[in-house]
Structure 1
Amino acid sequence: MDKPILTASEIGMLWTHYIQNSMTIQIMKHFQSTVQDKDIKFLVEKSLMLTENVKSEIRSIFHLELLPIPYAFSNTDVNLQAPRLFTDDLMLLFIETMGKAGTPAYSAAQAVSTRSDIRGLFTKILIEYSTLLNKTIEISLEKGLYVRPPSITKPDEVEFIEGKSYFTSGLNPFHKRSLNVVEISHLFENLKTNSIGKAICTGFAQTTDNKDVKNYFIKGKETGEKHAQLFSNLLTESDVPAPVPSDVGVTDSTTRVFSDKLMMFLKSVLSATGQGNYSTASTASMRYDLIGLYQKLSVEVAVYAKDGLDIMLKNNWLEEPPQSSDRKQLIKKGTHS
């Protein structure tokens, strides 16, 4: 029995993950050639093998379905002779972030797929990313490098919200209710991801000779630092400790490691992830000041991402996803034949 043709959703997910895994492979190759800690090297090699396998399996599907293979990224986008740009600690944080982003991404891909073989592929990858994330956290904990979320005093009993003041108290600068655990969770995770993003922007800014790209990453570093500070202040206001990853994540190297195309693409992925995180946090928060803050910061990220898109378009670095036929053009063309 012939397989049904791939749906637009399936092609879209396969195409997106092919591009992203192609990019991650080049990053992991640099990590592999510069990592020093043997346990972190194990994680780097495991991550590299996972991303190479995903790319290979998706490539096989594209061949069988007679779909064009995306150009994506290759060995020309990484300089494996370059000295180490990021410390082992930051590599570990990057793999953790990759695992956290990969599990919901492949869960979403599985959910919108129809064909059993495509669902099976995304299910398998989802399990592998979840396994990678668990192993990364275990090693981080063993080495004392894992940045734990804040703790709170356990409540004595169940309580119910009484009145709108629970939501509006954040608007009163003199009397804001303390943060609840859901709000703490989102503030902490967004603080952590912005700290990592700041470090990546720092490394990219010091290794590119493209003025537009350099200025873009300098702005990204400043934005990440500002957002992280806002989240840290909010936690501190409620007497919640605001632990952050070590600021020592980038070496002094100024030698180019990655192509501008790869660095800009990675930042576009991180910006999209950040916008999604802010949207989720805004929906989950129950203090109006937090909701307003997330919406404001989301707009800032959107404007920043748009500036990045302009740079990528200017340099012809954006591949066009597969799209539906333009029926109007086909009809118009048929009229003149």
Structure 2
Amino acid sequence: MNNVNLTASEIGMLWTQYIQNSMSIQILRYFYQTAEDGDIKSVVKEALRIAEYVTEDVKAIFRDEQLPIPNGFNENDVNLDAPKLFLDPFMLTFIENMGKAGSAAHGLSLGISSRKDIREFFSKTSIDTIQLFNMCVDVALEKGLFVRSPQIDVQNEVEYIEGKKYLSPFYKRVLNTVEIVHLFENIKTNIVGEMICTAFAQTTTSKEIKAYMKRGKEISAKHVKVFSDIFRESAINPPMGSNGFVTDNSSSVFSDRLMMFLMSVLSATGQGNYSTASTASMRFDLAITYQRLSAEIALYAKDGIDILIKHKWLEEPPQALDREEIVKKTKK
């Protein structure tokens, strides 16, 4: 038992990890149930192991601190008897993206933690997530499934920017390598989003959620085209990963609540990616493009949150006591 109370930041990050990993467990359980390739199944098994110990460790910490344990997601949010919805290569792609987002989230969580046991916890999750990502990429490379960043010829000498023309919105110079990496990664994540929306649209029985997923698919496809066209303007071939990893299964697999929550996580991640890309891009037109597309994601995410609230599916994070409300009750 630690005699130092958790900070608000530590509670918030632990709560977030519990909710998101409890969701991941249900998705990974279904992946493990339907995976056919032995190597890919091993990656899924490791991802599932990490997600399960994260939720159990957070639960233990919350019990020790006498904090309410979040509801999160459970076996009622997945139908393990449903036919195969995603082909095995998609499982690798999903875990690859989960590994990237997880590494960033665990690193941030470690950076804002002060209590030793919490720092040790996030240090362990960071290391395990990095190892999972490497395992995932190694298997994808061995099977010829990993989509590599474009290879380009670069200058032979170091150069310095000579004037504001380099940044001008009216002069579309060729892309630099920093801009290429962000365009490339955002194409990959949008292709994943397109596949997820396709799968969710065809397996939900709710007209409202089906329409929301179709809209998400259209947004992802549009963004892939925008980024791909920018590549082509610099005579660079955009990544050509397959978006055909969804089967024709139309049986219900995941609960509507889980599907909508995952979309809210993906939307938030997308906005973060675009914000980072906008800051890193030295071509002014790219920065404007990212900001414009980010606004579109923000509106989509807001509508998703409204659906979650409407159906009472959105669990509330721990918050500070409302002192004014306590005073009101005392007066009564």
| Fold equivalence (TM over 0.5) | yes
Shift of 1:226: 0.2
Alignment partner of 2:209 out of 208, 213, 217: 213
CA distance in 1, matches of 2:50, 2:90: 19
Aligned to 1:281: 277
TM-superposed CA distance for 1:331, in Å, is 1.9
C-alpha distance in structure 1 between counterparts of 2:106 and 2:241, whole Å: 27
Instruction: Give the equivalent residue in structure 2 for 1:299.
Output: 295
Aligned mates of 1:255, 1:176 — CA distance in 2: 47
- In structure 1, how many angstroms separate the alpha carbons of the residues matched to 2:165 and 2:2? 60
Query: How far off is 1:82 after superposition?
Result: 0.1
- Alignment of 1:198 with 2:194, yes or no, is yes
Cα displacement string for residues 174-225 of structure 1 (whole angstroms, at most 9, x for unaligned residues): x521000000000000000000100000000000010110000000000000
Give CA deviations for 1:286-314 in whole Å, capped at 9, x if unaligned.
01100000000000000000000111111
Q: How far apart are 1:2 and its partner, in Å?
A: 4.8
The 1:2/1:138 distance shift into structure 2, 3 A limit, reads: closer
Q: Given the two structures, how large is their TM-score scaled by the length of structure 2?
A: 0.99
CA contact (8 A) 2:83 2:251 kept: yes
Please list, as runs of the form range in 1=range in 2, the aligned pairs for 1:29-44 lying within 5 A after superposition: 29-44=29-44
1:125 equivalenced with 2:125 (yes/no):
yes
> What is the CA–CA distance in structure 2 between the aligned matches of 1:314 and 1:247, rounded to whole Å?
32
- Is the Cα–Cα contact under 8 Å of residues 191 and 244 in structure 1 kept in the other structure? no
State whether residues 79 and 254 of structure 2, in contact with CA within 8 Å, keep that contact through their aligned partners in structure 1.
yes
**What's the CA shift for 1:252?**
0.3
AA of the residue aligned to 1:156: N
Q: Deviations over 1:107-148 (max 9, x none)?
A: 000011110000100000000000000111111111110000
- Alignment of structure 1 residues 1-337 onto 2, 5 Å: 2-168=2-168, 171-172=169-170, 176-336=172-332
Q: Secondary structure at the match of 2:263?
A: helix
Q: TM-score, normalised by structure 1?
A: 0.97
Pairwise CA distance, 1:333: 2.2
The CA deviation at 1:244 is 2.6
Give the gaps of 5 or more residues in structure 2.
Answer: none
Whole-angstrom distance in 2 between the partners of 1:54 and 1:89: 25
CA distance in 2, matches of 1:141, 1:227: 26
Deviation at 1:152, TM superposition (A): 1.1
| Alignment-mate amino acid for residue 147 of structure 1 | V
Paired residue type of 1:274: G
Give yes or no for contact 1:6–1:115 (8 Å, CA) kept in 2. Answer: yes
Q: Any conservation in 2 of the 1:13–1:109 contact (CA below 8 Å)?
A: yes
Output the aligned Cα RMSD: 0.9
Structure 1 residue runs of 5 or longer lacking an equivalent are: none
8 Å CA contact retained: 2:194, 2:243: no
Q: For residue 52 of structure 1, what is the amino acid of its counterpart?
A: E
Report SS of the residue matched to 2:297. Answer: helix
Displacement of 1:83 in angstroms is 0.5
Rate the CA distance shift 1:31–1:333 in 2: closer, same or farther, 3 A. Answer: same
Which digits, 9 at most, give the CA deviation of each residue in 1:231-280, with x for residues without a partner?
A: 01101110111123112110000000000000000010000000000000
User: Percent same amino acid among aligned pairs?
Assistant: 55
Structure-2 separation of matches of 1:99 and 1:36? 21
Q: What is the rounded CA distance, in whole Å, between the counterparts of 2:271 and 2:78 in structure 1?
A: 27
Maintained 8 Å contact 2:82/2:251:
yes
Give the Cα–Cα distance (whole angstroms) in 1 for the partners of residues 52 and 207 of structure 2: 32
What are the Cα deviations for residues 144-173 of structure 1, in whole angstroms up to 9, with x where unaligned?
1000000111321011111111011xx33x
